[in-house]
Structure 1
Amino acid sequence: MSLKAQLQDDMKSAMRTRDKERLAVIRMLMAAVKQREVDDREELADGDVLAVVEKMVKQRRDAEQQYRDANRPELADAEAAEIAVLENYLPTQLSEAEIDQAIENAIAESQAESMRDMGKVMGVLKPRLQGQADMAVVSQRLKARLQ
């Protein structure tokens, strides 16, 4: 089942169970997917839908941190609840050891030797790890490894 079809089914399920919070998050996600489809003038594949979900999770995490810094726990908790719903659509996250192994494999595959080769290695890693790891963390770990 495609990710969009799963979203549709989950939206119907949330409507039936009258789960307003979950329904609102799924509708927001569906709207973001639809907006991206309209902007790009093409049907999104699962990888593209996954990228939309990742972007929304990242936005919510940033907002949650800002609310916590501003001493607004009620708003931070609302963002955390949205993150919990959105994370259901992401694949399981890789451990640090699995990320390090993927980095080592990509370095060997691209024959990277220095920081100049970071772009090549990231080009190999991004499609493999999309949705399974925060690419900012992967980039930091790769940078540390190449230095």
Structure 2
Amino acid sequence: MNDDLKLAMKAKEKTVLQVIRMIKASLQNEQIKLGRELTADEELTLLSREMKQRRDSLAEFEKANRDDLVEKVVAEIAIVEKYLPIQLTEEEIRQIVASVIEDTGVTSTQAFGQVMGKVMPQVKGKADGNLVNEIVKEQLNNL
């Protein structure tokens, strides 16, 4: 990330520079808050949170027809994605959810929390939580 920061400074890429600085600041704030170095898992959680914030903003800006802000957030999402693991496809998420449902033996939608609790650690940082939520609901409703 530091190398990307230096490259962005040299190339005068304001958006890249701004996003990397925000991410680094979030990481440092979390580190100060915890009083220790962050684990890779904690860094991944923080990056996932940054991505979620941007996706939520994107949805709001699209609703409000703010194309100027949509473009900015899309660019920021592309930058943050560079630091996240490769995202799972919808089909891969469906397979994970189906496997968890089969392994736990749930038979109703009331087990939603139980299924989500087992799926989310497997897809952490690799899938959008809203998409996982929709797939779990869909598959539980089809039981």
TM-score in terms of structure 1 length: 0.83
2:127 to 121, 124, 133: 133
Inter-CA distance 133–34: structure 2 relative to 1 (3 Å threshold): same
Q: Percent identity?
A: 36
After superposition, the C-alpha distances for 1:17-42 in whole angstroms (9 at most, x for unaligned) are 33332111101101011112222333
Give structure 1 stretches of 5+ with no counterpart: 1-6
CA distance in 1, matches of 2:35, 2:16: 28
Aligned length: 141
Alignment-mate amino acid for residue 124 of structure 2: Q
Q: Partner residue of 1:60?
A: 54
CA distance in 1, matches of 2:140, 2:65: 39
Alignment-mate amino acid for residue 136 of structure 2: L
Deviation at 1:146, TM superposition (A): 1.6
CA distance in 2, matches of 1:30, 1:143: 35
Deviation at 1:98, TM superposition (A): 0.9
Deviation at 1:132, TM superposition (A): 1.3
Inter-CA distance 47–24: structure 2 relative to 1 (3 Å threshold): same
Inter-CA distance 128–42: structure 2 relative to 1 (3 Å threshold): same
After superposition, the C-alpha distances for 1:88-117 in whole angstroms (9 at most, x for unaligned) are 112222122111110111122222222232
Q: Partner residue of 1:18?
A: 12
CA distance in 2, matches of 1:136, 1:37: 27
Give structure 2 stretches of 5+ with no counterpart: none
Inter-CA distance 67–119: structure 2 relative to 1 (3 Å threshold): closer
Residue 80, structure 1, aligned to residue 74, structure 2: yes
Q: In terms of mean alpha carbon deviation, does 18-27 or 64-73 score higher?
A: 64-73
Alignment-mate amino acid for residue 92 of structure 1: I
